[in-house]
Structure 1
Amino acid sequence: MPHDFILFDLDGTLSDPQLGIGRSINHALERHGFEPLLPDAVPRYIGPPLDESFRVITGRHDDGTIVALVAAYRERYGDIGYAENQLYPGIPEALQRLAEAGFPLGLCTSKRRDFACKILAMFKLDHLFRFIDGGEIGMHKWQQIAALREAGRVSESSLMVGDRAVDLIAAHRNGLSGAGVLWGHGSRDELTAETPRYLWQQPADIGATLAFAPQP
């Protein structure tokens, strides 16, 4: 079945944000009297909504604390953290190949939209995307995709590409196909448990699979 639109996650899919996210999480935790995360604990919090991550990390569920933590995180991330980001090798070529093959591309990230725009502009990839959709506190990725479907920007023929189970769950809940990528922060077991239509080992696999597929 051809795909009429390719929807990409950002963190762990197009770029590795671990350094900036980890430092910004710890900036927020330490400002509000919590113990910082060790570096090897950071990857599990890359992908899910930020407010959910802070609830898990701190064990706190009162909205005031969570809002304050998110604000402190965003203060550092917006100034410094977004730039502490590494583009995965082969991603620009994969995206360019899809664009040249005629596939419209979009971005759907739990990250705030203005941060996502800054990152894509930093990597000179923003011109390849028809739109950039970002999340807010309390919003799940499945709700973002539902809104995109309601607005007619994606359809059940579209494909969601991401590195975490949350990306595949969001796609399937809205009737889209999902593709998992193994160079990000989600494990093979995490991804295969959600039965992705495709599971890719490296960015070059995206174009090899899709670029010459017939389009609707």
Structure 2
Amino acid sequence: MVVTELLFVSYNLDPKLQEELKQKAPELFTHFLGVNGLQSLSRGKIVADNGTSVDSGSGRSALVLEWDNKSSFHDFFPNSPAFQAFAGTMKPFVSSPVLPELYESPDSSTSGASANITQIIKVAQGSNTEKVWGQITKTISQSQTETPHFFHGSGIEEQQGNFLGLIGWPSLKSYEESRKHATLVKLIDELSAGGKLYDVAVDLASIPISK
């Protein structure tokens, strides 16, 4: 089973540190080059939270990684030299500890995470969650001239019992227009079955991982 890892990062807002991070970012992510089992890596700023725009200077960001299986993830995190080097270098730039979230699926999340805008939806998994997710993907496909990429997975380990859905939108405009679709908004609310709904849009960019 393929494993999708999510990391939600809050960066330090100190202007000097932000500029330093901008300069060092290409070097920082070289620690992921050639990591066994890592299939893709994307990172970017969170641009919307539950349909509301997020300021570009908020420091809120996300990383989406895909692993061939959970054993490869655990070979890397938390004790591999490559991870230790990355974490040590990143520490001054983040405002709080970052913990990975893992979701398992037979399908790849890479196409959704490499779209122009990736919508990340997380809810507690219920008996009707996957059925409602199917209605969401059908509603979107019928209302879009360019069908987005879809992915869903089930949480494992610390995320056991949670559901992850990704929608890879072709543009920010198409994502924003979807928030005006009453049926779609209702279905996304229904997905959470009255519980907590985490729903953000991220402007992700792929990072090279091959040597």
TM-score (norm. length: structure 1): 0.26
Relative to its length, the structure with more helix (as a share) is: 1
Higher relative contact order (CA 8 A, sep 6+): 2
TM-score (norm. length: structure 2): 0.27
Relative to its length, the structure with more strand (as a share) is: 2
